[in-house]
Amino acid sequence: MTNHPYWSKAIQYQQQQQGQQQQRQQSQPAKQGRQQPRDDFGHEWLGKDVEIERVKGQVAEEIRGKILDISKYWFKLFVNNQVVYLNKAFILSIKPVEIERGALGGANDGRRQ
């Protein structure tokens, strides 16, 4: 049966496919070693009082508050006794600020006087 030309070609094809499959498997670890995702420095701001400048339409708006949590696309802020979620795509800048203690727990809105 192995002397038949059909079987010899089938075996050659099978060996060729196995060789190509092995080459693909060897090249896959190189793909897995991709660059690490960029660091957005969010960990530096976690738990700190900040002033965030964001885009609202065509106007830049400043928000003062404390960063409670950070995800890939969002900041969770505590502003004027409310929790606010802000999409990172609309942030222009973040600056550290000293917010008076009344801003986080009292009637003060966080602005310096």
In this structure, is residue 64 part of a structural domain?
A: yes
* CATH classification of the domain holding 51: 2.30.30.100
Q: Give the tokens for residue 5.
A: 């030309």
In terms of domains, do 100 and 83 share one? yes
What is the residue-level pLDDT of the chain in tens, covering all 113 positions?
556 777 777 788 788 878 777 776 666 555 556 666 666 777 888 999 999 999 888 888 999 999 999 998 999 999 999 999 999 999 999 999 976 665 554 444 554 44
Number of domains in the chain: 2
Cα distances (angstroms) measured from residue 5 to each of 2, 12, 85, 105: 8, 11, 70, 87
3-state secondary structure of 20: helix
In terms of domains, do 91 and 46 share one? yes
**Per-residue pLDDT at 48:** 92
In this structure, is residue 113 part of a structural domain?
A: no
Cα 62 to the center of its chain, rounded Å: 23
- Asked whether the CA dihedral 39, 44, 49, 50 is positive or negative, the reply is negative
In terms of domains, do 85 and 47 share one? yes
Distance, in Å, from the CA atom of 47 to the CA atom of 76, rounded to the nearest integer, reads: 10
Among 41, 46, 85, 86, smallest CA distance to 66 is for 46
23 is in which domain, residue-wise?
1-33
In terms of domains, do 10 and 64 share one? no
Distance, in Å, from the CA atom of 54 to the CA atom of 32, rounded to the nearest integer, reads: 36
